[in-house]
Every structure is written in C-alpha cells, then in structure tokens.
Amino acid sequence: MSSALAGKVVIVTGASSGIGAASARLLSEHGCRLTLAARSIDKLERLAAEIDAEALAMRADMTIPADIAQMVERTLERFGRIDVLFANAGVFIMGDYASGDPDAYTNLLKVNVDGVLRCMHAVLPAMKAQGAGDILVTSSIAGHEELHLGPVYGASKHAIQTIVHTTRRQLAGDGIRVMSLAPGRVANELWGLSDPDEIERLTRVERDYLKVEDVAEAAVFMLTRPRHVTIRDIVMLPQKQDV
C-alpha cells in the first residue's frame, strides 16, 4: 500500500488491545514502524508477531515516569526518530461517584491525564529537532459532554481537550500537529465486550457501539492529511448513541 505514513515511526500506547491494537494493525498496513507499548508484554509480543511491520514491543505503565522515558529512549535507539505519538492508553470508570473508590479515581487521572502529559513532553525534543511530528490523543465524547455516569472519567477527558487545544497553538510553529480523537461507545474490553458475534450485533445491527476498527480508520485519516491541514478534533458516535 502506498501511503503518506510509509516509513513513519509511530508510538502507540495502550497497544495491547482495543483501539490501540486495531490502530497498530492498520498502521502496519500503511508501512509504519511501530513501538507498541502497554502493561501486558505477552499481548504486545503476539501483536508484534502478527503484524507485517518492524515493531518494538515493550512493557510500559503510564503511571510510571521511568517507563515513559524508557519507551521514548528505546524508540529513538531503535528507529532514530519519532514521527507520531498516538497517546491512546486510558482507564475507564463509570458509575456513582459517592460509592466509588478514590484510589481508583486517582489512578484514572494518573493514566488519562498525567500519562498523556508525560508522553507528549517526552517526545517533543525529538519532534522539535526534526521540525515535524504528530501527536494524536484518544479523548472521548465525555470530553465534550457532561455525562452524568462518569464524572471523574469525564473530567480527565475535558482536561485532555484543553491540553490538545492549547499545546496545538504553542507547537504549530515547530511543525508539530496536536489532535484529539473522541469516540463514543466502542465495543471493546473497556465495556466488557470481546465476543465477535456480540460485537457484530451491537455495532452493525443495533448500531449502539462503534467498532475499534472504526476508530482506527479515523486515526489514520487524521494522520494522513497533508501537512498544512490539522484535524483538531474528530468526535464520532455510534449512530444510535444519545448524548
């Protein structure tokens, strides 16, 4: 496949499953060289063996700053550059705030906000030196709407929207694009969904969920726009999701 992404070096966090794994598969078809990062090294190694791409699989916990630094350092050692950061790793908690676990909320904010901030900060020296780069962050419809069943998750994604919109302005002069991809319900492990037949029913028939492949295709669309075009936000919903 001839693609604007051919040969690009892409870091995908949260790559062991869901949107991250689907995006890694699609990016490999576009000729990307990949760093696949997540906590589950076994899943990453299986994915790296499955895809047709040069891939570095490494365990990285987004709550551990040293893991993030090592992820970036090893990518540069292996590939010599970083063209794209797809900051996709995230934690999802919905439910009643008062009965929730404050420690779980703190961990969510560490992954969804602090982890993204640190990943972005870690890749910027290389991207600035290159004079080009793309940072794409997985946000959520919860970053655009106040969903009453997810107050802390929504707060984390509202923070992401602010980070994306402000750093985009600061980094535009360095040739770096900063973008946000905000899906609604996605039929994946975060929603407790893994059975292919059930996913097919919920997406194609009921139209209540997106497929992970739908989100991956949107990510690749954003990354393949000409350099003079920045898709600041994409918000995508299953056709029957009522927000």
pLDDT one-digit tens code per residue, 29-87: 999 999 999 999 999 999 999 999 999 999 999 999 999 999 999 999 999 999 999 99
Query: Under 8 Å CB-to-CB from 129, ≥6 apart: which residues?
Result: none
Residue 203 token pair: 């997406």
Task: Give the model's confidence band at 1: pLDDT under 50 very low, under 70 low, under 90 confident, else very high.
Answer: low
Name the nearest CA neighbour of 140 among 179, 183, 108: 183
b/e map of 34-62 (b: 16 or more CB within 10 Å)? bbbbbbeeebbbebbeebebebbbbbbbb
Q: Spot the catalytic one: 97, 105, 153, 209.
A: 153
* 211 or 195: which leads in pLDDT: 211
The string of pLDDT tens digits covering residues 135-153 is: 999 999 999 999 888 999 9
Q: Read off the pTM.
A: 0.96
Query: CA-to-CA distance for 63 and 76, rounded, in angstroms?
Result: 21
153 is catalytic: yes
Element holding 197 (H helix, E strand): helix 196-200
Count CB neighbours of 183 within 10 A. 23
